[in-house]
Structure 1
Amino acid sequence: MSDVRPLEVFLAQPRGFCAGVVRAIEIVERALEKYGPPVYVRHEIVHNKYVVESLKAKGAIFVEDLSEVPPKAVTVFSAHGVARSVEEEAAARDLPVLNATCPLVTKVHNQGKRYTSKGRTLILIGHAGHPEVEGTMGQVPGPVLLVQNLQDVASLTLPSDTPVAYITQTTLSVDDTKDIIAALSKRFSDIQGPDTRDICYATQNRQSAVRDMSKLVDLILVVGANNSSNSNRLREIGTEAGIPSYLIADGSELNPEWLVGKKAVGITAGASAPEVLVDDVIEALRRIVPVTVSMLPGREENIEFVLPAELATA
């Protein structure tokens, strides 16, 4: 067995937690430290079961509706953001709220409000049913038209000279949205939208890293949750590059058959997946075959988002 060539494992850079996810988790942890358990969190704080379960173990209680929160209980809104109706309900019940909405999501909300205040019809590029999309549609006054694909653009019934503006779900990259934006620009003569630099840096960086990695490997493993939009997209990008690509929650979901005939495996992780799960996948690989692990070069991320003032000293 000593002459068996080890499997090369390449780690994408960057991968895993983004600044918005780090901030959201820290808000829950600091709230538990400052106020003591339980702390109530509306919706999964981020889309990752491991993260949710570890916070539950510390005393966080996750609910889907504010009616499940007892009077006066400390309440956290998830990183995905919430509709104004949820904020108003919390205020009416006098719940002490900590808002863990990602600042980039809040920026999208503010862009949408600015466009509609100028009389523009707002178009949101995103996935129906995603909590961020529901929050954004509930934050912007007036109707918001959701488009998910080119067919949705074609079926819009607005006159071509309608003043319109578009905003995008933050877990979509520049590459994900460019065809839809081009179709909207062709369809409407008076259209505005945010600068492409306003699109979530973390989404774009992780996708670019997978594209680079796909040139070096013959299998891609994406560590992340099934309900994570950005994790699913990373798997799709690997598949589009012609590389067999799988989305797995952790090492227990690794199928040894995927490794047959493979020489190099690339691993990345969605923006809500902690590094401990990447380590778990590497250990699962090691139990099957000898491996060498190396980190690929990539874009450094140094962005940090400030915590709510009441937790800054916790």
Structure 2
Amino acid sequence: MRVNFAPEARLPEKRPISILLAAPRGFCAGVDRAIQIVEQAIRKWGAPVYVRHEIVHNRHVVERLEALGAVFVEELDECPLDRPVIFSAHGVPKSVPAEARQREMIYVDATCPLVSKVHVEAERHFNAGREIVLIGHAGHPEVIGTMGQLPAGAITLLETVEDAENFQPGDPSKLSFVTQTTLSVDDTAEMVAVLQRRFPGIAAPHKEDICYATTNRQDAVKAMAEQADLVLVIGSPKSSNSVRLVEVAKRAGARDGQLVASADDVDWAWFVDVRTVGVTAGASAPEDLVEDLIAAIAARFDANVEEVRVTKEDVVFKLPRALVE
């Protein structure tokens, strides 16, 4: 019996697509330090090491550290007294280390130094007799930690421009503000402008509280957004700086912006009519997730990658002395 074979079918040509890769992106110095603290604590004291709250807001990072021997909990009473506990990069209220000391626990504070700077500023304003306004998002661990540095009522949280317009201080002549470190630069500037218009004597931070990494990642997204039909941001919905990157991309001219935890979360229907896609990652997202996303795009399209760099970061934070001795 003769079998007729069809001519070899040609695979359809891949549609060309340009990938604009934002730089800087991904891990910042504070996140890198926090992860190293957990790793070094496990080396020093062995597993398990307990971590109060997710060390950073990224499930992939958390799962990798769990595999090494980290146990993530929400409160200190979930930790045995004979094992070390680490406080997350977002910072904690003063009551948390006080409780750890009272229980005679070994603890290491992985609070980002730039968050600690905001804590110091708030305390300085309080000691100077000023009422303090905190610009931030209710319920975020960093906001909870900052407000927990001082007695209840010492800090008023403002979340929107409307809040800033309606705020009534006890004494406008003794007023100050601090901000969460991971906010939208533009949104925060708008709120600060309202406060300074209404209260010209309001005391401001010596140096802007929004951290260098948040600013740089937003600047990189702005630099590529106008050229991008779609911007993909790798990060967690719980990550404030990652969520802000999506908002910044859309505001800066991208036709669409989406937050994805990894390449597995991409809906390829988003790519209909997309000729240029921007890619970035929040400050708690590891670079291997970026590489996986680019590989997934390249598997489906004829991809050309171009880096869009706005600055070079060289910030490094030292580990706590207890871990390097």
TM category, shorter = over 0.9
Q: Give yes or no for contact 1:123–1:144 (8 Å, CA) kept in 2.
A: yes
State yes or no: 1:155 paired with 2:169. no
Q: Give yes or no for contact 1:124–1:145 (8 Å, CA) kept in 2.
A: yes
Task: Give the secondary structure class of the aligned counterpart of 1:296.
Answer: strand
Q: Aligned equivalents of 1:189 and 1:279: distance in 2?
A: 48
Offset, 1:239 = 1.4
- Determine which of 101, 106, 116 is the counterpart of 1:96: 106
**Post-superposition CA distance 1:204-246 (Å, at most 9, x none):** 0000000001122211000000111010000011111232000
1:31: which partner in 2?
A: 41
State yes or no: 1:265 paired with 2:277. yes
Q: Aligned equivalents of 1:189 and 1:217: distance in 2?
A: 40
1:172: which partner in 2?
A: 183
2:54: which partner in 1?
A: 44
2:204: which partner in 1?
A: 193
Q: Give yes or no for contact 1:231–1:270 (8 Å, CA) kept in 2.
A: yes
State the identity as a percent: 49
Instruction: Tell which structure's C-alpha radius of gyration is larger.
Output: 2
Q: Aligned equivalents of 2:169 and 2:237: distance in 1?
A: 35
Q: Give yes or no for contact 1:9–1:265 (8 Å, CA) kept in 2.
A: yes
1:299: which partner in 2?
A: 311
What is the correspondence of 1:70-219 to structure 2 with a 5 Å cutoff? 70-141=80-151, 143-159=154-170, 161-219=172-230
2:296: which partner in 1?
A: 284
Q: Give yes or no for contact 2:180–2:209 (8 Å, CA) kept in 1.
A: no
State yes or no: 1:16 paired with 2:26. yes
Q: Give yes or no for contact 1:218–1:264 (8 Å, CA) kept in 2.
A: yes
Matched AA of 1:156:
F
Matched AA of 1:185:
Q
Offset, 1:21 = 0.1
Q: Aligned equivalents of 1:141 and 1:110: distance in 2?
A: 14
Q: Aligned equivalents of 2:200 and 2:315: distance in 1?
A: 36
Task: Give the secondary structure class of the aligned counterpart of 1:12.
Answer: strand
Give the unaligned 5+ runs of structure 2.
Answer: 1-10
Q: Give yes or no for contact 1:160–1:189 (8 Å, CA) kept in 2.
A: no
State yes or no: 1:68 paired with 2:72. no
Q: Aligned equivalents of 2:302 and 2:216: distance in 1?
A: 30
**Post-superposition CA distance 1:130-182 (Å, at most 9, x none):** 00000000013452100001111223232563410000001125423111111
Matched AA of 1:85:
S
Distance 1:200 1:173, change over 3 A: farther
State yes or no: 1:248 paired with 2:270. no
Matched AA of 1:282:
I
Q: Give yes or no for contact 1:83–1:137 (8 Å, CA) kept in 2.
A: yes
Offset, 1:284 = 1.8
Offset, 1:257 = 0.8
Q: TM-score, normalised by structure 2?
A: 0.92
Give the unaligned 5+ runs of structure 1.
Answer: none
Q: Aligned equivalents of 1:159 and 1:60: distance in 2?
A: 45
Matched AA of 2:286:
P
Q: TM-score, normalised by structure 1?
A: 0.96
Matched AA of 2:64:
S
Matched AA of 1:62:
F
Q: Aligned equivalents of 1:174 and 1:287: distance in 2?
A: 35
Distance 1:268 1:130, change over 3 A: same
Q: Does 277-286 or 31-40 show the bigger shift?
A: 277-286
| Count of matched residue positions in the alignment of Structure 1 and Structure 2 | 313
Q: Give yes or no for contact 1:160–1:187 (8 Å, CA) kept in 2.
A: no
